[in-house]
Amino acid sequence: MKILVIRFSSMGDIIYTTPVVRCLKKQLPDAEIHFLTKPAFKYIYNNNPYLDKLLLLKSTLSETIQDIKAEKYDHIIDLHNNLRTSIIKLRTGIPASTYKKQRLRKWLSLKFKLDLVPHVHLVDRYLKTVKFLGVVNDGESINYYINGQYNLTDLLPASHQNGYVAFVIGATHFTKRMPNHKIISLCKQIDQPIILLGGSDVAANGDEISVAVGERVINLCGKTSLDESVFLVSNANSIIGFDTGLTHIAEAFNKPIASVWGGTTPDLLGVQPYQVDKTLIAGVDLSCRPCSKFGLPKCPLGHFKCMNDMPEASIVDFVNA
Provide the residue-wise pLDDT of the chain in tens; the chain has 321 residues: 999 999 999 999 999 999 999 999 999 999 999 999 999 999 999 899 999 999 999 999 999 999 999 999 999 999 999 999 999 999 999 999 999 988 888 888 888 788 888 889 999 999 999 999 999 999 999 999 998 899 999 999 999 999 999 999 999 999 999 999 999 999 999 999 999 999 999 999 999 999 999 999 999 999 999 999 999 999 999 999 999 999 999 999 999 999 999 999 998 888 999 999 999 999 999 999 999 988 999 999 999 999 999 999 999 999 999
Q: Quick one: pLDDT at residue 108?
A: 81
- Do 37 and 7 touch, CB atoms closer than 8 A? yes
Q: Is the dihedral of CA 219, 310, 319, 188 positive or negative?
A: positive
CA distance 259 to 241: 5
User: C-alpha angle 121/123/129, rounded to 5°?
Assistant: 115
What is 154-320's CATH number, 3.30.70.100, 3.40.920.10, 3.90.1150.10, 3.40.50.2000? 3.40.50.2000
Q: What are the residues whose beta carbons fall under 8 Å from the beta carbon of 192, sequence distance 6 or more?
A: 163, 164, 165, 216, 237, 319, 320
List, as one string, the DSSP characters of 53-108: EEEE--SSHHHHHHHHHHHT-SEEEESS-SHHHHHHHHHH---EEE----HHHHHH
Question: Residues 169, 183: contact at Cβ < 8 Å?
Answer: yes
Q: Is 280 helix (H, G, I), strand (E, B) or coil?
A: strand
CA nearest neighbour of 294 among 225, 245, 258: 245
pLDDT value, residue 62: 97
Cα 257 from Cα 154, distance rounded (Å): 25
pLDDT at residue number 319? 98
In DSSP terms, which residues pair with 168 in a beta bridge? 197, 241
Cα radius of gyration (the chain): 20
What three-state secondary structure class fits 158?
helix
Residues of the chain with CATH 3.40.50.2000: 2-133, 154-320
Read off the pTM: 0.95
CATH number for domain 2-133, candidates 3.30.70.2860, 3.30.460.10, 3.30.70.100, 3.40.50.2000? 3.40.50.2000
CA distance 199 to 222: 4
CA–CA distance, 276 with 205 (Å, rounded to integer): 29
Contact 299/291 with Cβ under 8 angstroms? yes
Q: Is 8 helix (H, G, I), strand (E, B) or coil?
A: coil
